[in-house]
Amino acid sequence: MTIPFGTLYIVATPIGHLNDISVRALETLKSVDHIAVEDTRHSAPLLKQFGIHKPLKAIHDHNERHSVDWFIKELSAGKSIALISDAGTPLIADPGYHIVSALQSLGFRISPIPGACALIAALSASGLATDHFCFEGFLAAKTSARFTQLTARSHEPYTMVFYEAPHRIVETLDAMQQVFGLERIVCIARELTKTFETIKTGPLSAIIPWLNADSNQQRGEFVIVVAGAPAPDKHDLSLDEQRLLTLLRRKIPLKAASQLAAEYTGKSKNTFYDFGITHDE
Ligand code: SAM
């Protein structure tokens, strides 16, 4: 008789409020043979609180690749394992990718037990567009690298979600203001599901002074949700196009000038005409 392979469960845990653990997460954690955790000191009290006493296996960034063999051995022996991280959904800015990727490719059964995730919680309450978004994780710690990363995203049309540490929140918003401009709308989602939960959305011109005015608002855990770049207005004329229309207008009437400028640039005649009407000298 062959023992069927065990399952690896990817179990989300709370990001603050303990009641956010799901019934299924508790059932799973109570049923598995092992729980793989990011940090035993962090997870042991949480598990104890829920009455869960299972052998723990520490998995962190430094030993993740080397621990794949342990997962293969245990799952092949028919044992089931739950993977949890310090908070929220494992693998989301947390360890686990190398393990899941390796086990997937070997055909092991991997089953998610979904639950709290800071980026989804922040996005859902931000008031910013949710139909398309990019999760950017943490920006680089070095100032110049952070500017390079933000500059590469300055024309990103979709909502962007960043994680940020409290000691860098002011600096990061300042960098965003320099790259995205003061009018760009952002949402600061701080201490989600906890006592001092704060969610504030507005242009960087308002958010930065608000954050600077109260050092309490600079503490805790942060998600920054940033609105995508506004689509370029197809009715706008570049400076060169405006200059072309002005030059033509000195010689011929607006209607003819608009026609010629449209033929030259490929933009619509009406765009030039409307601009001419509203900017008549
Ligand atoms: N796996 C987690 C998840 O599902 O969101 C994320 C882990 S990552 C190492 C930790 C970062 O997530 C924090 O630095 C912060 O940016 C964000 N975060 C976690 N909990 C949060 C909370 N309660 N409120 C706001 N941000 C939070």
Same domain, 108 and 138: no
Ligand 1 pocket, residue 15 CB under 6 Å: yes
- Single residue among 226, 249, 271 that ends a domain in this structure: 226
C-alpha 15 to ligand 1 mean position (Å): 7
The pLDDT averaged over each successive group of 10 residues in the chain (281 residues) is: 85 96 98 96 92 94 90 97 98 96 97 98 98 98 95 94 97 96 97 98 97 94 96 76 93 94 89 81 58
- Alpha carbon nearest to ligand 1 atom 2, residue: 88
Ligand 1 pocket, residue 163 CB under 6 Å: yes
pLDDT attached to residue 237? 85
Q: Which atom of ligand 1 is nearest to the CA of 90?
A: 1
- Single residue among 181, 204, 226 that ends a domain in this structure: 226
- Residue 233 forms part of a structural domain: no
pLDDT attached to residue 280? 67
Ligand 1 pocket, residue 228 CB under 6 Å: no
Same domain, 134 and 215: yes
How far is residue 194's CA from residue 215's CA, in Å, rounded to a whole number?
A: 18
pLDDT attached to residue 9? 98
pLDDT attached to residue 233? 67
C-alpha 196 to ligand 1 mean position (Å): 15
- Residue 144 forms part of a structural domain: yes
Same domain, 111 and 212: no
Backbone φ and ψ for 247, nearest 5 degrees, come out as: -65, -45
CATH number of the domain to which 75 belongs: 3.40.1010.10
Cα dist. 132→129, 160, 161, 184, 193 in Å?
7, 9, 11, 17, 24
C-alpha 27 to ligand 1 mean position (Å): 24
pLDDT attached to residue 1? 58
How far is residue 228's CA from residue 99's CA, in Å, rounded to a whole number?
A: 33
DSSP letters for the chain: -PPPPPEEEEE-B-SS-GGGS-HHHHHHHHH-SEEEES-HHHHHHHHHHTT----EEE--TTTTGGGHHHHHHHHHTT--EEE--SSBSTTSSSS-HHHHHHHHHTT-EEEEE----HHHHHHHHH-S--SSEEEEEEPPSSHHHHHHHHHHTTT--SEEEEEE-GGGHHHHHHHHHHHH-TT-EEEEEESTTSTT-EEEEEEHHHHHHHHHH-GGGGSS-EEEEEPPPPPPPTT---HHHHHHHHHHHTTS-HHHHHHHHHHHH-S-HHHHHHHHHHT--
- Residue 157 forms part of a structural domain: yes
Same domain, 19 and 92: yes
Report the half-sphere exposure of 238 (CA within 13 A, side-chain side).
7
